[in-house]
Amino acid sequence: QALNDFSSKWDKLYPRLAQSWFEDKDELFTFYKYPDSIQKSIYTTNWIERANKEIRKRLKTMNSLPNEKAAEKILYLKIIDYNSKWSERRLKGFLATRDKLIQLFEERY
């Protein structure tokens, strides 16, 4: 219903946008297939935006990097650090919905 409301309001100004949302609505709303307790963790990109901001901040403070390889090395080390932190992280709501997730992804388990 919200998509229909959006379309009726904005279709005249942005017809291709509204049309593309209707065409791709199955992909856009995939997170609704998951339990309510984890939907916010799935659709938000805050943690990605924060990681990008930290990487830019890290590279910006280094006024002069000798070459592109030096920047790549810093980026690589930061990503390795994120991987180790995030692999141990427990996201809110996931433990409570473990059985439901196993059902959704039965082929993988």
93: left (phi over 0), alpha (psi -120 to 50) or beta: left
**Residue 85 reports pLDDT greater than 80:** yes
Tens-digit pLDDT profile for residues 24-82: 888 888 888 888 888 887 777 788 898 889 888 888 777 777 888 988 898 899 899 98
How many other C-beta atoms can be found within 10 angstroms of the C-beta atom of residue 18?
19
Helix axes 15-23, 2-10, angle to 10 degrees: 160
Buried b (16+ CB within 10 A) or exposed e, 58-79: eeeeeeeeeeeeeeeeeeeeee
Mean pLDDT along residues 1-15:
88
Residue of 2, 23, 30, 44 lying closest to 10 (CA atoms): 2
**Residue 90 reports pLDDT greater than 80:** no
Q: What pTM did the predictor assign? A: 0.51
Question: Domain extents for the chain?
Answer: 1-33, 35-109
